[in-house]
Amino acid sequence: MYSQGLLKQDTAAVESEEFLAAFQDRIDAEEKIEPNDRMPAAYRKTLVRQIGQHAHSEIVGMLPEGNWITRAPTLKRKAALLAKVQDEGGHGLYLYAAAETLGVSREKMTGELLAGTAKYSSIFNYPTLSWADIGAIGWLVDGAAIMNQIPLCRCSYGPYARAMIRICREESFHQRQGFEIMTRLSQGSSEQKSMAQDALDRWWWPSLMMFGPHDAASRHSEQSMKWKIKRFTNDSLRQKFIDAIVPQAEYLQLKIPDPELKWDPERNDGAGGYAHGPIDWDEFRRVLKGQGPMARERLRARREAWETGAWVREAALAHADKRDRQRAQVA
């Protein structure tokens, strides 16, 4: 979100013990780190990876929902879905811009996504089979995203935190429009009800996986917490999500597809919360690695968009160049 001019500055630091301690002191004092500040290479690397994956997720995330824009059941639903998908595109842009302040170019990140070497959230490698999936995505997938994103508004890296504040402000309608779709379907005909239930059955477990591996298995968690890139652990956010969603599913009179789901008065330090059954992490890893037909389809769609849009980028640059030359002649 800052200039290329600023990016030319060398912010690499000699990582002496004093430097690292002083950096940690700034973090502990809740001071934000800004683009030109000196920072440890690992801090920069962690952020580039995380923000890049986040940006790719927003962009690839436009595809499953985009699939239903032309088939939305009413004009109202179509307008809302179009606005939501447009928002996700904007989120991708804010995040790429935040990553660029760390010295990585947009072109490089896009290249990594298209080459299949960059990760994005595994949730977007599932297909959207019915209109109810659009409801379930807004309700569960955006719901889980919001849980993850709210603490990121206080991330120690200034440009990332500012991008997240914008994103969270825009996200709030996404979950509500999804829940509204689910409400309508669950109060409709028996066919509509079973569509809603089927969507919940398919999106529930992938949504829980959006919070990432269990704390004990999470490689990057501890250091990220220390640097205040992350504020809460994967498991605590997942717990918060489940506790919020279960009563909403009850309102919809839909059944969460987990036979082991039950109220546990011991959870949340005795305040109570829901216990859930085991998560299939093999599936998570398979989908994350991009195995399966949907993953290939997502990358195919992104490559096609990039390639068929190439002439627009070239024309824009050629036009700017021609005008610059014409102006130079006049002057």
Partner 1 sequence: MTDLMPIWEVFVRPRNGLAHKHVGSLHAGDEELALQAARDVYTRRNEGNSIWVVRSEHIAASDPDRAAENFQPSADKVYRHPTFYSVPDGVENL
Chain residues in the site for Fe ion (CB under 5 A)? 58, 88, 91, 142, 171, 174
Q: Does 316 interact with partner 1 (rule: CB under 8 A)?
A: yes
306 contact partners, CB below 8 Å, separation of at least 6: 110, 114
Residues 135-164 interacting with partner 1 (rule: CB under 8 A)? 162-163
Residues 43, 68, 94, 131: which binds partner 1 (CB under 8 A)? 94
Q: Give 52: exposed, middle or buried? Use CB within 10 Å, 0-12, 13-18, 19+.
A: buried
Q: Which is nearer to partner 1, 41 or 320 (CB)?
A: 320
CA distance 230 to 152: 7
Residues 107, 191, 269, 282: which binds partner 1 (CB under 8 A)? 107
Q: Does 172 interact with partner 1 (rule: CB under 8 A)?
A: no
Q: Phi then psi for 262, rounded to 5 degrees?
A: -155, 155
**DSSP 3-state of 157:** strand
CB of 229 to partner 1, least distance (A): 20
CB of 56 to partner 1, least distance (A): 16
CA distance 220 to 37: 23
60 contact partners, CB below 8 Å, separation of at least 6: 113, 120, 121, 124, 298, 302
Residues 15, 31, 37, 180: which binds partner 1 (CB under 8 A)? 37
Q: Does 269 interact with partner 1 (rule: CB under 8 A)?
A: no
Of 6, 183, 12, give the one whose Cα is nearest residue 101: 6
Binding-site residue total for partner 1 (CB under 8 A)?
A: 37
Residue 201 site contact among partner 1, Fe ion, none (CB < 5 to 8 Å, cut-off depends on kind): none
Residues 45, 76, 300, 313: which binds partner 1 (CB under 8 A)? 313
**DSSP 3-state of 263:** strand
Q: Does 5 interact with partner 1 (rule: CB under 8 A)?
A: yes
Count other C-beta atoms under 10 Å from residue 317's C-beta: 10
* Contact residues for partner 1, defined by CB under 8 A: 1-6, 9, 34, 36-38, 83, 86-87, 90, 93-94, 97, 100, 105-107, 110-111, 162-163, 166, 169-170, 310, 313-314, 316-317, 319-320, 323
